[in-house]
Chains A and B, each alone.
Chain A
Amino acid sequence: MSKLASSSEEEGIRLAEPRKRRFVFTPWVWAIGALLFMLVLSAAIGPVAIPPFTVIKILIHRLPFVTFPVDWPTTFDTILHQIRLPQTVMIALTGMALAGSGAAYQGLFRNPLADPYIIGVASGAGLGAVLAMAAKWPTTFMGMTVIPIAAFIGALITVAVVYSLARVGRTTPITTLILAGVAVSAFTSSLTSLLMLLSTEQLHRALSWLLGGFALGGWNPVLAALPYLVVGLGILFVLGRPLNVLQFGDEQALQLGLHVEKYKIVVVAVSSLVAATAVSFTGIIGFVGLIVPHLARLLWGPDYRRLIPLATITGGSVLLASDIIARTVLAPRELPVGIVTAVIGAPFFLWLLRRAKQERFW
């Protein structure tokens, strides 16, 4: 036996039993608890304030087999179900989609600066949306609102262009993918600006879309977005293990037996789909998809099997909190939520950078 192979007795005994895989509850309890709290708070706050406990009571009252006396005005019911809840749920879903896809992109690109928009989702969606506004397309088509559809198509076409530009032979190197993303985004954004200059009467509408927080009312957007988000985020949740392996670089991942190119295209396609869905309905909200994955990594470690779902849940809470600020700071005026996320996100990001120097969390 070589010297290296002799392990100490004590360690051998302690580790002879495979570690029991304990399900660690705490992060999940915190993340989900925060999300529920923010959901109730967001539904409670508005021009007509509904006490948070009443919100909870109204929601529970809706459940089957639960009956207790109604002690709130019926207008609360209407406001909650037809106005507040759909908006609150849409905001939460958007935050979840941005943070989840952001975490997956950061894992794929092995780059702490990656966000859901890095390979063109936002600029493509922006071009699609502004094009629809500038061309004064009818606002509905076959019962669907046109702008989200135009944004969605714009986003997916842009990502497809970026991916095909970045291909070198049979592989898609990460660096060329990022570079192609930056170049194509710059190109599409300039086209968007040009369109906005040419159609000044639509300028305000376009600008508010680009700044994020372009809220469509009612349950329809929620129902339209939900299937994409459930399927997309569900796939991202099970990609944690391959993303962990990818942290060692394409070459080592391949030598460890990972279908690297296959996983790459799956992560890009699914993350882009998720981000495009979010952006299409609410406009371009920055910083959530960049900051929340970092926050989750800082709090709960770098393991993508936990990081992606935890970042997703936390993304919902963070965007809800930002939205509450956007609605209340200058009330009755509402700010675009994208401005709030940037104002809070940028300093937080700097703090995070300082912190990252001290700890090995990336």
Chain B
Amino acid sequence: MKITLRFDRATIGYGDKPILREISLEVIPGEVLGVVGPNGVGKSTLVKGASGILSPLGGKIYVDGKEISALSPPERARLVAVVPQATKLPEAFTARDVVLMGRTPYLGWLDREGESDHRIAIKAMERTNTTHFADRKIGELSGGDQQRLLIARALAQTPSVLLLDEPTAHLDLRHQDEILNFIHSLAKEEGLTVLITLHDLNLVARFADRVALLSNGRVQKLGNPEQVLTPEDLTPVYGMEIHVTSHPIHGTPLILS
């Protein structure tokens, strides 16, 4: 199977201070890799490395076989799209404008968005069910709608890898469920490679195919949710007693403190 996202003994950090040390991970198309770990362990740093914001201090990060830090910003953005947390967005742009910005990596200095760019943006909005507020200002939208819009923007980049950094942090239960369900179906239906960082271990348990547990700047354990989300693994990493039972409906691990 083709590997679209590969961390090869990558050391990532700020300046010369490594946060993550010699990380090795591989994600394939159609797969959702959930990344978990306590605050400050480097989940966002991992996303910054994979999106080329931070160049690895050591090792390599590959997307579609290309070394990501060797590419130019537009070349990177055609391969990797990032869905950030919907916080502090410029309020006055319309939803449609925001999604069209996903076409940035395909446009040069003097280019304007063409027919095909509009078509791709509209398709991305239809995919994310955001068309009905296309002409509203983003400041007027709810947190859930804004988050869906950022996913639409990422899809408009037509990437092969989708990175999501805590996409459900400010959402209520229903919207969390909706967003993650959608992400999961995107991976399966369109063969997207998805890496998602999440605080909520129960969401990871339900929506990730595999889980990477980070601790002390390293991948502590990697495997399917049942293998990784165990009291034996979680308790030392989070420094507290953690219990795991089974979800009464989904059968996935249910994590309790």
A residues bordering B, Cβ < 8 Å?
1-8, 11-12, 14-16, 18-19, 110, 169, 238, 241, 244-245, 247-249, 251-252, 254-260, 297, 301-303, 360-362
Contact = CB atoms under 8 A, between A and B. Distances in A.
Contact of B53 (A6, A169, A251, A302): A251
A110 B92 CA distance: 13
B132 interface: yes
Interface stretch (B31-39, B174-182, B208-216): B174-182
A5 B123 CA distance: 10
A18 B115 contact: yes
A14 B181 CA distance: 27
B257 interface: no
A5 B185 contact: yes
Interface string B60-80: 000000000000111111101
Nearest to B92: A302
Contacts of A256: 77, 101-102, 104-105, 153, 157
B59 interface: no
Given A2-B181, A241-B112, 8 more contacts: A2-B178, A2-B182, A14-B131, A252-B84, A255-B77, A258-B74, A259-B72, A259-B73
Contacts of A248: 89-90, 101
A82 B99 CA distance: 53
13 contacts: A5-B126, A5-B182, A241-B107, A244-B97, A249-B88, A256-B105, A256-B157, A257-B73, A257-B104, A258-B73, A259-B72, A259-B74, A302-B92
B155 to A, nearest CB: 11
Interface size on B, as a range, is 35 or more
Interface string B110-122: 1010010011001
Contacts of B104: 241, 245, 256-258
Interface of B: 15, 48, 51-53, 72-78, 80-82, 84, 88-93, 96-97, 101-102, 104-107, 109-110, 112, 115, 118-119, 122, 125-129, 131-132, 134, 137, 139-140, 148, 153, 157, 178-179, 181-182, 184-185, 189
* Residue among A1, A12, A254 facing the most chain B CB atoms (10 A cut-off): A254
B74 A257 contact: yes
A302 B178 contact: no
Interface residues of A, dominant DSSP: loop
B90 A302 contact: yes
Contacts, number: 125
A234 B73 CA distance: 25
A254 B53 contact: yes
A81 to B, nearest CB: 37
Contacts of B184: 2
A15 B99 CA distance: 14
A340 to B, nearest CB: 30
A14 B52 CA distance: 38
Contact of A257 (B77, B96, B112, B189): B77
* Residue among A16, A248, A260, A301 facing the most chain B CB atoms (10 A cut-off): A248
Contacts of A249: 88
B81 A255 contact: yes
A255 B53 contact: yes
Given A18-B122, A248-B101, A7 B92 contact: no
What are the 6 tightest A-B residue pairs by CB atom distance, in nearest-first order?
A: A257-B77, A257-B105, A18-B118, A4-B182, A302-B92, A247-B90
Contacts of B84: 251-252, 255
Contacts of A18: 115, 118-119, 122
Contacts of B126: 5, 7, 11-12, 15
A16 B129 contact: no
Given A257-B104, A258-B73, A238 B122 contact: no
A297 B132 CA distance: 25
Nearest to A168: B15
Nearest to B96: A19
A19 B118 CA distance: 8
Contacts of A19: 96, 118
Contacts of A362: 90-92
A255 B93 contact: no
Nearest to B139: A360
Contacts of B132: 7-8, 11
A247 B125 contact: no
A215 B152 CA distance: 53
